[in-house]
Amino acid sequence: MGPRVQETHMPVTIRLARAGDIPSLEVLIPHSARSLQAGYYSPEQIEGAIGTVFGVDSQLIADGTYFVAERDGRIVGCGGWSKRQALYGGNRDRAGADPLLNPACEPARIRAFFIHPDFARLGIGRQLMTSSETAALQAGFNSIEIVATLAGEPLYASFGYVVIERFPIVLANGSSMPVVRMAKAYEEPRSKAEG
């Protein structure tokens, strides 16, 4: 079967990201952040986060847990989940491996959602979230955590994630960025969900 086309506001094709997508993602992510986070963070905060907090985590692509949304063959959004410990950030400056989580007792992560500004608020983030949550549950997790930007918080709140704590991330340029840790637990015990 080919990639799914999900009909909502904006029909896009959601497919797993490939290593060959990385150059496009390295353009999309800063463009999305500079535009869609402008109402939430200062230019200094956004520039301080680009490349480190906002960057490609190629481990997610290698794991097959990162998705892209395509429209007419062009990547217009990305986002995914993780079965590993890191809560946020690209892997450019990561020292060593990112250890695997235990699905029986640890929450999966939602990671790195970025939509092209021309395609914002058209339901693409929602489609990527649905794909990510479904895949994380299929992998055996029954809770999910996110360290979200303030720009991302309304999307995740609309999926039922609740705020656990707010804290600042110290950035490479010395500024800091307030973020929010959010979580969601599923009611179905894993044994039931597995049938």
Reduced 3-state DSSP string for the chain: CCCEEECCCCCEEEEECCHHHHHHHHHHHHHHHHHHCCCCCCHHHHHHHECCCECCCHHHHHHCCEEEEEECCEEEEEEEEECECCCCCCCCCCCCCCCECCCCCCCEEEEEEEECHHHCCCCHHHHHHHHHHHHHHHCCCCEEEEEECCCCHHHHHHCCCEEEEEEEEECCCCCEEEEEEEEEECCCCHHHHCC
Residue nearer to ligand COA on the CB measure, 58 or 130: 130
Instruction: Using CB positions, name the residue nearest to ligand COA.
Output: 125
Is 122 near ligand COA (CB under 6 A)? Answer: yes
Residue nearer to ligand COA on the CB measure, 72 or 195: 72
Q: Taking CB under 6 A as the rule, which mask of x and - marks residues 4-33 in contact with ligand COA?
A: ----------------------------xx
Number of residues that bind ligand COA (CB under 6 A): 21
Selected range binding ligand COA among 55-63, 108-116, 132-140, 167-175, rule: CB under 6 A: 108-116
Is 182 near ligand COA (CB under 6 A)? Answer: no
